[in-house]
Amino acid sequence: MKRIGVIQIWQESNCFNPVLTTLEDFKRFGLVAGKDVLEQFGDSDELGGFVSGVGSWREVGESVGVLRAVTWPGGPVAKDVLDWFIRAVREELRKAGPLDGLLFSLHGALISENEANADASLLEAAREVLGRKIPIVATVDLHAFITPEMLRNVDALVAYHTSPHIDRRETGRRAARALERLFDGARPACAAVRLPMISIAEAQNSFGPLLKPVFKRLRELEARKEILSAAVLMTQPWLDAPRLGWTTLVISDGDASLARSLADELADACWSRRERMRVEFCGAEEAVTRALAARRKPVVIADGADATNSGAGGDSTHLLRAMIGRDIPEGALAIMVDPQAVAQAKAAGAGAEFKFAVGGKRDNIFSKPLDVAGHVVSLQPARYVLSGHLGDQLPVKMGLSATVRIRDVTLLLVEFPGPGSSPQMYRCVGLEPKEFKMVVVKSPAGFRAEYEPFAAEIILTDCPGCASPRFSDMPYKKITRPLWPLDKIEDWRNAWPPEER
């Protein structure tokens, strides 16, 4: 029986969030090693797919837990944290004993404060221990920033095929199938094409009419016996890194020219759609006005620029200021990550008056604290198990919460960031989004998976923030230019020199 190591180190970084991600952030979502990996998380996300996939092989394999570290998207990982993970990968792989293969779950957009290619460093650490003869198959989010250094240290790479991301477990199974094919003698030939483009997350719906044909094509390609993997990586656009851009990726069984032609085909399909990847945005005041005019409820207001799902701080005050300045008879529901405000509410106690400057502390670049006055409704832990966009049996702990009423606005204050796209972030403390006229989500697009079935209307905003869709407002310093839509580019093939593609 083949012994297959299982590792997951997953975080999406946002370079413009000034709050560094620490080891404590990973511990809150579950940082474990050895047998605890599968005992505690063997039925979640990619890990669940790895285990079930390896268990369904013709010659059933044994999954061996090595290391699991997950936290919600946020600022870059502190340097000492990345160093710790690199050491942990080496040490835990050695403790695991002889392995026949490795399945490695990454996001693909992890950076540290001093290393823009952190995922590659983690894969390199694994390769140093296992050597070149042991196959490594990695999974990544479709917003991964794929680099040549990453590809040099894997035999195959498998990406999500859905946005909103509801196929994490299935991606794990696909990775296990790719690994089985490697054991059966497949010879991976990889072609990756870099496109000089980034795009707004609000326009990246893989189920919508614009991109659905592209992702259907990926599934068609992977159904062919000569193809191990096919992916379109739309990248995390709030990374300030050289060579930032979309990537199309095809891995064939031994046919490099086929892989390249198919990767070019996918690149052309993506590039031809770029000008149609636009949506209508509202400012904060206009969003509230439109929501009030809606005949039904709830109206979902997406604050994508402050999306915790995109690594932003989650404490923007722009929409809150607009809402508390208006009469909203049926009420508004909003959320904010502000541990200091939670502490203030706790000190005051349920039912007490609440006067404090909320927000604008984590993201103090695009937002400023807002003085509010209201009362504390309740105090309770904010925790639940996420299944849906970006999670599958994923335990979420946002710390202590304080529900505060400010005029017609019910504001949920939490200590730590969590999924900004799920109604569970409100429901876990007894707040039902359907009961409010308007509800704020901290997500640009993933919220549609759960909110769209009952939303009366959806309004997309472009308030300032770490994850703003207005790329021209972001302080990029290291990206390779030209880069669409910041620059006008006619042909992707001529934009960058071959070594950059």
pLDDT digits (tens, 9 = 90+) for 182-198: 999 999 999 999 999 99
- Residue whose pair of structure tokens reads 């790329």 in the numeric block: 471
Q: Residue 499: pLDDT above 80?
A: no
Residue 307 to residue 313: CA distance in whole angstroms: 7
Q: Residue 6: pLDDT above 90?
A: yes
What is the average pLDDT across 231-257?
97
For residue 114, what pLDDT band results from cuts at 50, 70 and 90?
confident
Q: What is the pTM of this model?
A: 0.96
% of the chain beyond a pLDDT of 90:
96
pLDDT for res 166: 92
Candidates 273, 125, 139; CA nearest to 200 is 273
- Digit-coded pLDDT (tens) for 371-419: 999 999 999 999 999 988 888 889 999 999 999 999 999 999 999 999 9
Return the amino acid letter for 260.
Answer: R
Q: Cβ(330)–Cβ(269) under 8 Å?
A: no
Residue 64 to residue 96: CA distance in whole angstroms: 7
User: Which alpha helices (DSSP H) does 369-489 contain, by range?
Assistant: 424-427, 448-451
Q: Backbone phi, then psi, for 125, in 5-degree steps?
A: -60, -40
For residue 498, what pLDDT band results from cuts at 50, 70 and 90?
confident
Distance in angstroms between the alpha carbons of the first and the last residue of the chain: 40
What is the average pLDDT across 333-349?
98
3-state helix, strand, coil in the chain (%, to 5): 30, 25, 40
Candidates 103, 102, 257; CA nearest to 190 is 257
pLDDT for res 389: 87
pLDDT for res 392: 86
Q: Residue 58: pLDDT above 80?
A: yes
What is the average pLDDT across 327-333?
97
Mean pLDDT of the chain: 96
Q: Residue 343: pLDDT above 90?
A: yes
pLDDT for res 201: 94
For residue 312, what pLDDT band results from cuts at 50, 70 and 90?
very high
- Digit-coded pLDDT (tens) for 24-34: 999 999 999 99
- Digit-coded pLDDT (tens) for 205-238: 999 999 999 999 999 999 999 999 999 999 999 9
pLDDT for res 348: 97
Q: Cβ(231)–Cβ(218) under 8 Å?
A: yes
Beta strand segments in 350-481, E: 353-358, 370-388, 391-406, 409-414, 438-441, 457-460
For residue 497, what pLDDT band results from cuts at 50, 70 and 90?
confident
Phi-psi label, residue 250: left if phi above 0, alpha if psi -120 to 50, beta otherwise? beta
pLDDT for res 319: 98
pLDDT for res 226: 97
Domain spans of the chain, in order of start: 3-276, 284-469
Beta strand segments in 101-225, E: 101-106, 136-140, 156-159, 188-194
- Digit-coded pLDDT (tens) for 345-360: 999 999 999 999 999 9
